[in-house]
Amino acid sequence: CDGCTGTGDVEMVRRARLVQPRMQPDAKPAINGPKGPLPWGQITFAHTSDTHGWLMGHVKEENYGADWGDYVSFIRHMRYKARSLGVDFLVVDSGDLHDGAGLSDATAKLPGGVNGEVSLPIFENLDYDLLTIGNHELYVADITYDVFENFAKFYRSRYLTSNVQIRDPKDNKFKYVGKQYKYFTTYFGIRIMAFGVLFDFTGNANNSKIIKAKDMVQEQWFLDAINTSEPVDLFLVLGHNSVRSSTGTFPIIREAIRKVRPDTPIQFFGGHSHTRDFKVFDNSSTALEPGRYCETLGWLALSGIDAGKGKHKPEGVPNPTRPAINGTVGAKITYDRRYIDWNRLSFEYHSDNVRTFDTPRGESVTNEIWDERHRLNLTNLYGCAPQTYCLSCAPQDSELSLYPLVQKALSATIINESRKTTARLIFVNTGGFRFDLVKGPFTYDDSFIVAPFTNAFEYIPNVPYKYASQLLVLLNAGAPQKRDMDRQHRSFLPTSADSCPLDSVQFNRALVKRKTITRRQEAVTPGYTTKDDFGIDGDDTPHSTVPYYRTTNDIMAKGGFPEDGSDPETVDIIFYDFIRSYVITALGKAGVNYTANDVSLYMPKTFTSNDFLPAYAKMAWSKDC
Ligand SMILES: O=c1ccn([C@@H]2O[C@H](COP(=O)(O)O)[C@@H](O)[C@H]2O)c(=O)[nH]1
Ligand SMILES: [Zn+2]
Ligand SMILES: [Zn+2]
């Protein structure tokens, strides 16, 4: 496979932008397209969530290959279209901007750097109407402070954090990261009261505070906001908050608003569970959730609000016709929703703008992304993965799965020289692995895509084996450290089935960012197949379903065990700091008590959960892809 060097210089990037598609003669674009025009209502919303730094798009997957510049261009066209249709259009985001891709995460590894310091300013090229905070803005104190000092100040009254505060180091006082609420009137006259509510998250760093939803709804400022004497035609509640799972707190907010406003429409925009979803609460209250990782743009059209001078039924476009609760006669509010695949074909098609799609701002955002990709060395090659290892496309003990590879890599790389004669058991949470590891060049960028967190390897020395040997079962029976189990899942889908893994730099212009992607006519491709409260017709591009297998909370790797197969007397128990409390609890259940004072670092602080796969790739995989 020539050209698969996996490295690149600035010139190469620039040249790659100019070259024609380098497809195999028989390779077809692995993409099929939208089923038809989007619905537009009296007010229509474009909704992102859980972008996790994927602003470069999925460079190895054409179906999710649009970058942030493409999205900026798309929104510009859609704002124009809304005005010409005579309807309101709002663009909203539900948080989790960090942890998941090199563009956001690599800066934390630079001296004095912070995760997000490059990606957030790129994100800011989008003129969002409303945004809110996610839990990934709160795990690390420096990130929260950066969001408070820069991002929240950039979006000013549009960044809503109704229940999240930060301790400002300047005066040691707790302050809201953004604003608690926003009251505003849209261009066509709809009067809106908006909030931004994070689920009851508890894993935050100690410079922030999350007020539980049940407490927030009793606070005077909230009661004043929902009881305001100003007219409110529509409540908007953004929230990094699953619309369906039991961890979601939207029902609490809804109940509080409904007590004083029984009939006012309430529209929720959720996130966090990485799922495409639409939930109906009552006939004028529903919630949308738009998936993850710049794979989906959520779209919601809503009509029937008793206000404003915008059209309820714009001409020449599909209008929402469904009441929230199926079969309701005479329902005032009607809805429709769509989940748009994040690619150029979808964006160009829906903007009715194939020839002049790229706006100057969109082009410059794309250029900035690719310059930063180079500056941050994201295409640096560790080795060539001999196959694709997936998170959920196969049973977790299958050779197709990522987890046997993780076990092998942990055994080979997590060795403390001074302890190497002591047998060790290494425990990691499967929630720390976020995306498939794809066949071909495994780069610095891919290291964040697969395992973005920088959790330390800690240990408890010399634990009697009779207790340690029970640990995995107890961890997996205990409280989950991973994301909700009911998430929608999707595995990696190669750009074209048998194309050679092109140089990661060239993936962009050569395949993903071709000006106009040709629609594949003959068959649907694998991808998201969503079932929500409105049924199975929400996906904008129809797909066939991909297989999905669940995983356990944690997995275990071994090292340094006696060669004769006998059990050691004692072992070192090694684990990510992220799961320390679960390990201590589980050991207690096994019958032996330890505390945090018994825990110390096993590997240097600088060798984290993000480093062991690169270390393994360097030692085990060829560099000749
Ligand atoms: O240091 C960390 C932080 C998080 N995780 C995992 O991530 C999920 C939460 O991710 P969302 O995108 O908010 O759903 C958490 O449940 C952990 O599984 C981690 O492993 N290490
Ligand atoms: Zn997330
Ligand atoms: Zn989240």
pLDDT attached to residue 488: 77
User: Residue 230 burial (CB < 10 Å; 0-12/13-18/19+)?
Assistant: exposed
Q: Give mean pLDDT, residues 357-382.
A: 97
For residue 454, the CA-to-ligand 1 centroid distance in Å is: 11
Closest CA to 504 of 105, 122, 101, 110: 101
Q: Give mean pLDDT, residues 256-272.
A: 98
For residue 273, the CA-to-ligand 3 centroid distance in Å is: 7
Q: How many CB atoms lie within 10 A of CB 262?
A: 9
Q: Give mean pLDDT, residues 145-159.
A: 98
Residue 25 binned pLDDT confidence (cut-offs 50, 70, 90)? very low
For ligand 1, atom 11, which residue shows the shortest CA distance? 272
Contact at 8 Å (CB) between 57 and 342?
A: yes
pLDDT attached to residue 502: 41
For ligand 1, atom 3, which residue shows the shortest CA distance? 453
Q: Give mean pLDDT, residues 264-281.
A: 98
pLDDT attached to residue 483: 58
Among 346-350, 360-364, 500-504, the least confident range? 500-504
Q: Give mean pLDDT, residues 427-433.
A: 97
For residue 459, the CA-to-ligand 1 centroid distance in Å is: 21
E strand segments, 485-620 = 525-526, 543-544, 554-559, 570-576, 600-601
pLDDT attached to residue 523: 76
pLDDT score of 335 more than 50: yes
Q: Give mean pLDDT, residues 36-49.
A: 98
pLDDT score of 28 more than 70: no
Q: Give mean pLDDT, residues 478-501.
A: 65
Among 182-196, 341-355, 411-425, the least confident range? 341-355
- Give the tens place of pLDDT for each residue, 553-605: 999 999 999 999 999 999 999 999 999 999 999 999 999 999 999 999 999 99
Average pLDDT, the chain: 91
Residue 9 binned pLDDT confidence (cut-offs 50, 70, 90)? very low
pLDDT attached to residue 98: 98
Ligand 1 atom closest to the Cα of residue 432 is 20
pLDDT score of 225 more than 70: yes
Is the minimum distance from the CB of 204 to ligand 1 under 6 angstroms?
no
What was the ipTM of the complex prediction?
0.99
For ligand 1, atom 8, which residue shows the shortest CA distance? 483
pLDDT attached to residue 486: 60
pLDDT attached to residue 491: 86
Is the minimum distance from the CB of 483 to ligand 1 under 6 angstroms?
yes
For ligand 1, atom 4, which residue shows the shortest CA distance? 432
Residue 211 binned pLDDT confidence (cut-offs 50, 70, 90)? very high
For residue 237, the CA-to-ligand 2 centroid distance in Å is: 18
Q: Give mean pLDDT, residues 421-448.
A: 97
- Give the tens place of pLDDT for each residue, 505-533: 444 444 444 445 556 555 789 999 999 99
Question: How far apart, in whole angstroms, are the C-alpha atoms of residue 345 and residue 361?
Answer: 19
Residue 485 binned pLDDT confidence (cut-offs 50, 70, 90)? low
- Please state the φ and ψ torsions of residue 279, each to the nearest 5 degrees: -120, 140
pLDDT attached to residue 347: 97
Is the minimum distance from the CB of 344 to ligand 1 under 6 angstroms?
no
Which residues place a Cβ less than 5 A from the ion ligand 2? 50, 96
Ligand 1 atom closest to the Cα of residue 50 is 12
pLDDT attached to residue 14: 32
Is the minimum distance from the CB of 222 to ligand 1 under 6 angstroms?
no
* Residues whose CB falls within 8 Å of the CB of residue 12, separated by 6 or more in sequence, listed in order: 503, 505
pLDDT attached to residue 517: 56
pTM of the model: 0.93
pLDDT score of 291 more than 80: yes
pLDDT score of 504 more than 70: no
For residue 98, the CA-to-ligand 3 centroid distance in Å is: 10
Contact at 8 Å (CB) between 241 and 197?
A: yes
Percent of the chain at pLDDT exceeding 70: 90
- Give the tens place of pLDDT for each residue, 79-123: 999 999 999 999 999 999 999 999 999 999 999 999 999 999 999
Ligand 1 atom closest to the Cα of residue 483 is 16
Q: Give mean pLDDT, residues 203-230.
A: 98
Q: Give mean pLDDT, residues 434-456.
A: 98
pLDDT attached to residue 493: 79
pLDDT attached to residue 5: 36
- For strands 570-576 and 88-93, give the pairing: unpaired
Closest CA to 55 of 376, 272, 402: 376
Q: Give mean pLDDT, residues 270-274.
A: 97
pLDDT score of 467 more than 80: yes
For residue 550, the CA-to-ligand 1 centroid distance in Å is: 16
- What single string gives the DSSP state of each residue in 394-446? S-TTSTTBHHHHHHHHHHHH---GGGTTS-EEEEEEGGG--SPBPSEEEEHHH
* Token pair 């180079």 in the structure block, residue: 374
